Structure 1
Amino acid sequence: MAAAVALESLDAPLIDSHCHIVFRNFDDDLEEVAQRWRDAGVGRLLHACVEPSEIPAIRALADRFPELRYAVGVHPLDPEHWQSNTPAVLKAAALDDSRVVAIGELGLDLFRDKNLDQQLVMLRPQLDLAVELDLPVIIHCRDAAEPMLAELRERRGRGACPRGVMHCWSGTPDEMAGFLELGLFISFSGNVTFPKATDTHACAQLVPADRYLVETDCPFLAPVPRRGKRNEPAFVAAVAERVAELRGETLPAVARQSTANACALFGAGLHNV
């Protein structure tokens, strides 16, 4: 209830910087979901992409909901969707629609699979594409901070490290410091509301004010008290409220700062919210 009251005084819209409303579990009630995110003060959504076949459907969602911007990319756990022409497909999609504001979600995930070499084969061309197109990247990194930092540091050494965001942050403060040193932003999702997520709590307290975003990663990781249920963009307000609590700030202040940070990272495509 506190979040609902606080939302009445928001003087800046929230941005859900990472969502997946293209998934089938939104098919039956997406208009109602949209009304709820608008009622919650969400002025922009950034839709991530996990594999190229999603792109036409995500683009159709952007046509349907003018507040939506999107990324194009291949998730590290989807190697079956990577083909020799995939970089060209992603490039064409990015160049064809100004609402594409990022490449991703891309990254490394060694929690479930240990195929690091195969994941690097997908990761590196996407990072190259982001540099070529001067777009930020949305990075998925789970149990893979060390190889991800090594890859990005090597790229920085030769001037080929794109700007971007570590999405759905769940790492340690030390790992966060490494990514911040590379110029990356840190995005907090519903897991920041989980009582036992102590590392994530510490990161939310320590991250510089101009380097954090908020997101849902819906339909995954619904925040407390909706944990275990379908997540949706409106619930980014609960994420922002928890970040505010951890930082000793007000919800309107976090809304203003996280929105300004998202606009700084993703550019003109998120302005005028």
Structure 2
Amino acid sequence: MAAAVALESLSAPLIDSHCHIVFRNFDEDLEEVAQRWRDAGVGRLLHACVEPSEIPAIRALADRFPELRYSVGVHPLDPEHWAPDTQQVLREAAQADPRVVAIGELGLDLFRDKNLEQQLAMLRPQLDLAVELDLPVIIHCRDAAEPMLRELRDRADRGACPKGVMHCWSGTPEEMQGFLELGLYISFSGNVTFPKATDTHACAQAVPAERFLVETDCPFLAPVPRRGKRNEPSYVMAVAQRVAELRQDSLQAVALQSTSNACALFGPALHNV
């Protein structure tokens, strides 16, 4: 209850810049979940896509919930969903709906799998597509900062590095600096509330004000005090509150800044929240 009251005085609605409400564990109570995010002051949701077969269902959610925008892409841990025509499938989906505001969730993940070359073979055409369509990318990067920085720096040297965000940031301040130098944003999720996430805390303190976002990555990574339970968009307030504490700033200021930053990155489709 206290969280909902705290947000009533905010002059800017929060944006959950990364969520997955298409997942089956929202089937039974999605209307109640939506009411909670509205009551909590969440004005926009950006729904990330992990593989092409999700796109029709995510589009249907955008029809159902007018505050939802979405991306199209293939997650690095889902190579079975990459086919020779996948780039074209993503291109057509992005061009067919102005509510598509990003390419992703793409990236590299060497925590679970070590198939770097296979992941790069999916990553590169998605980065190319983002540049072609002038859309930002949503980057998943876990235990893979070095190869990701190498890839993006090479593209920057060729003038082919898209803008974008490092979602659910869990890297070190030094790694963060490398991505900031490439013009990327840094997004904090529920893990910023975890007591032992000291690197993430340091990054939240150090990131420039104009370069951070907040997200839930729901249904994963529910913030303290709901850790271990299903996450949902209304809980983005807990993320914003912890970021505010770490930055010794007000919740109001973090809400205003993160909303402004999300709109700057993802464009006009996120405005008027």
| TM-score class, shorter | over 0.9
The residue that corresponds to 1:226 in the other structure is 226
* Equivalent-residue separation in structure 1 for 2:2 and 2:99 (angstroms): 34
Q: Which amino acid aligns with 2:78?
A: D
* Equivalent-residue separation in structure 2 for 1:191 and 1:32 (angstroms): 24
Q: Is contact 1:101-1:267 (8 Å) kept?
A: yes
The residue that corresponds to 1:266 in the other structure is 266
SS of residue paired to 1:229: coil
Q: Is contact 1:7-1:41 (8 Å) kept?
A: yes
Q: Which amino acid aligns with 1:216?
A: T
SS of residue paired to 1:183: coil
Q: Is contact 1:14-1:259 (8 Å) kept?
A: yes
| 5+ residue gaps, structure 2 | none
Q: Which amino acid aligns with 1:52?
A: P
**CA drift at 1:125:** 0.0
The residue that corresponds to 1:122 in the other structure is 122
Q: Which amino acid aligns with 1:148?
A: M
**CA drift at 1:156:** 0.2
Indicate the RMSD between aligned Cα atoms, in angstroms.
0.6
* Equivalent-residue separation in structure 2 for 1:32 and 1:265 (angstroms): 29
Q: Which amino acid aligns with 2:22?
A: V
The residue that corresponds to 1:158 in the other structure is 158
The residue that corresponds to 1:197 in the other structure is 197
Q: Is contact 2:19-2:216 (8 Å) kept?
A: yes
* Equivalent-residue separation in structure 2 for 1:157 and 1:196 (angstroms): 37
TM-score by length of 1: 0.99
Q: How does 1:52-201 map to 2 (within 5 A)?
A: 52-201=52-201
* Equivalent-residue separation in structure 2 for 1:6 and 1:240 (angstroms): 12
The residue that corresponds to 1:242 in the other structure is 242
**CA drift at 1:2:** 4.8
SS of residue paired to 1:22: coil
Q: Which amino acid aligns with 1:264?
A: A
* Equivalent-residue separation in structure 1 for 2:66 and 2:99 (angstroms): 10
The residue that corresponds to 1:26 in the other structure is 26
| 5+ residue gaps, structure 1 | none
* Equivalent-residue separation in structure 1 for 2:59 and 2:69 (angstroms): 9
Q: Is contact 1:3-1:241 (8 Å) kept?
A: no
**CA drift at 1:6:** 2.0
| Range moving further from structure 2, 4-13 or 38-47 | 4-13
* Equivalent-residue separation in structure 2 for 1:10 and 1:149 (angstroms): 36
* Equivalent-residue separation in structure 2 for 1:230 and 1:112 (angstroms): 22
* Equivalent-residue separation in structure 2 for 1:103 and 1:238 (angstroms): 27
Q: Is contact 2:91-2:129 (8 Å) kept?
A: yes
Work out the number of aligned pairs and report it.
273
The residue that corresponds to 1:251 in the other structure is 251
* Equivalent-residue separation in structure 1 for 2:43 and 2:252 (angstroms): 14
Q: Is contact 1:194-1:224 (8 Å) kept?
A: yes
Sequence identity (%): 86
Q: Which amino acid aligns with 1:10?
A: L
* Equivalent-residue separation in structure 1 for 2:271 and 2:226 (angstroms): 30
The residue that corresponds to 1:50 in the other structure is 50
SS of residue paired to 2:267: helix
TM-score by length of 2: 0.99
- Runs of 4 or more off by more than 4 Å in structure 1? none
* Equivalent-residue separation in structure 2 for 1:146 and 1:14 (angstroms): 32
1:76-116 CA distances to partner (integer Å, 9 max, x unpaired)? Answer: 00000000000000000000000000000000000000000
Q: Is contact 2:50-2:75 (8 Å) kept?
A: yes
Q: Is contact 1:18-1:215 (8 Å) kept?
A: yes
1:140-173 CA distances to partner (integer Å, 9 max, x unpaired)? Answer: 0000000000000000000000000000000000
Q: Which amino acid aligns with 1:231?
A: N
* Equivalent-residue separation in structure 2 for 1:81 and 1:169 (angstroms): 25
Q: Is contact 1:104-1:138 (8 Å) kept?
A: yes
SS of residue paired to 1:162: coil
* Equivalent-residue separation in structure 2 for 1:147 and 1:159 (angstroms): 18
Q: Is contact 2:214-2:258 (8 Å) kept?
A: yes
Matched, 1:38 2:41: no
Q: Is contact 2:20-2:219 (8 Å) kept?
A: yes
